[in-house]
Amino acid sequence: MHQRIQHRPPRIWTFILFLGLGLLTFALAVFPSPAQAAPTYQEDKPSNDFCLACHQEEGISKSLGSESLPVTINPTQFGLSVHSAEGIACVDCHTDIRGYPHPSVKAKSIRAFSLALADTCKECHEDKYEKIRDSVHQTAFDAGNENAPICADCHNPHTQARLIGQESGQLTIAARRDVPATCAACHTDIYDKYKNSVHGAALADGNTDVPTCTDCHGVHNIDDPTTASFRNNTPALCADCHDNAAIMDKYGLSTEVTETYVADFHGTTVTLFEQQFPGQETNKAVCSDCHGVHDIAKVDNAETGIAMQENLLIKCQRCHPDATANFPAAWMGHYPPSPEHYPIVYYVNLFYKFFIPAVLGGMTFFVLTDIYRRIVNRMKGTKHA
């Protein structure tokens, strides 16, 4: 055919032929062929076995610029993943790969390769892309921080396990326990604090009542935690669990922490303040100023517990720099006075509860009987007079 064209001089035909071929190629590239849309495509598309025949081999890699990307995929691990269980094939995600050699890769680093595939999940999980849009991570990413996480940083597409129990519809215990490790990939310092905290240690033991990173921060829509509104909202965040008797009774912890906090000089002002100036940051103590955030300890912890005055003093001094050893005694505590907690205050209160009605009652009685006697005397006086 090539030959024939060369032997046939009219150039216009050659031009039309190439134009036609060009348009056809363009159409094939842009519009899916009928063969692809038809159900028979399932048989045509390369199977996972085809890809894994090469990709299960240990030690293979692809060089990207000066870096080397390992390309071994473990078939057993892939087989256990949620995507494999749902029948998602390699080529459902790697839509541009149909055979070998693969199309050329432009990325010059491992990160650039990841970022080039960042939209892979969109076709099936579009809702999550909506959620991340205004998150701290996406904002950091849009501002040029390429280390901010994309989907695949938190979810390995080849090994991702099911997170939501199929029957419960809830996050599985294993998924919950693994959350901090997911964030630890980048937030190492915070993770190190959290894992030794009262919440983190309990989580590692499989306790599902304690908060993990995502309970306080959200998952895909993480807000900036350094804002005034986040700070002012801390008491409500903690109260979610700490006011809940169904949770706290298991641990013998007070459910009056918020109530007592709100009644105290700091809480009263924070509550009023928040109503009056919702956008402004409070300078009064919120839960985390005394208890910490990621490093919250049991209050009777031998080293850092704030039930110990000297540990509490350090917290007060941050805002009351002149506070001396006795200052923390001003903190009445989360327990309303009772025979066990603050007995003196309790008995003084109790005393007044009886003393005042008794005195007032006695006086009223005295006054009434006196009036009665005077009236009786007067009546007697009028009779005799």
Candidate ranges 12-20, 27-35, 113-121, 366-374; the one touching ligand HEC (CB under 6 A): 113-121
Site for ligand HEC in 217-256 (CB under 6 A): 217, 219-220, 222, 224-226, 231, 234-235, 237-242, 247, 251, 253-254
Rounded to whole angstroms, how far apart are CA atoms 64 and 298? 49
Q: Choose which of 80, 136, 173, 228 interacts with ligand HEC (CB under 6 A).
A: 136
Rank residues 213 and 274 by Cβ distance to ligand HEC and give the closer one. 213
Residue 46: count other Cβ atoms within 10 Å of its Cβ: 15
- Least separation in angstroms between CB 22 and ligand HEC: 27
Q: Choose which of 25, 33, 170, 283 interacts with ligand HEC (CB under 6 A).
A: 283
Candidate ranges 36-44, 296-304, 343-351, 360-368; the one touching ligand HEC (CB under 6 A): 296-304
308 binds ligand HEC (CB under 6 A): no
Site for ligand HEC in 50-89 (CB under 6 A): 50-55, 60, 62, 69, 71, 73, 78, 82-83, 86, 88
Check if the beta carbon of residue 17 is closer than 8 Å to that of residue 5. Answer: yes
203 binds ligand HEC (CB under 6 A): no
Q: N- to C-terminal Cα distance for the chain?
A: 152
Site for ligand HEC in 163-192 (CB under 6 A): 163-164, 171, 175, 179-180, 182-183, 185-187, 190-191
Quickly tell me which residue has 């103590």 as its tokens: 285
Site for ligand HEC in 4-43 (CB under 6 A): none
Closest listed residue to residue 239, CA positions, set 255, 215, 227, 225:
255
C-alpha distances out from residue 40 to 3, 34, 37, Å: 37, 10, 8
Rounded to whole angstroms, how far apart are CA atoms 183 and 366? 74
Rank residues 274 and 299 by Cβ distance to ligand HEC and give the closer one. 299
Candidate ranges 33-41, 271-279, 285-293, 362-370; the one touching ligand HEC (CB under 6 A): 285-293
160 binds ligand HEC (CB under 6 A): yes
- Least separation in angstroms between CB 230 and ligand HEC: 6
C-alpha distances out from residue 207 to 165, 184, 214, 305, Å: 17, 19, 15, 21
Check if the beta carbon of residue 157 is closer than 8 Å to that of residue 76. Answer: no
Rounded to whole angstroms, how far apart are CA atoms 7 and 3? 6
Length of the chain equals 385
Give the torsion sign (CA, 119, 122, 127, 130): positive
Rounded to the nearest 5°, which phi and psi values hold at 250?
A: -65, -30
Rank residues 6 and 168 by Cβ distance to ligand HEC and give the closer one. 168
Rank residues 242 and 274 by Cβ distance to ligand HEC and give the closer one. 242
270 binds ligand HEC (CB under 6 A): no
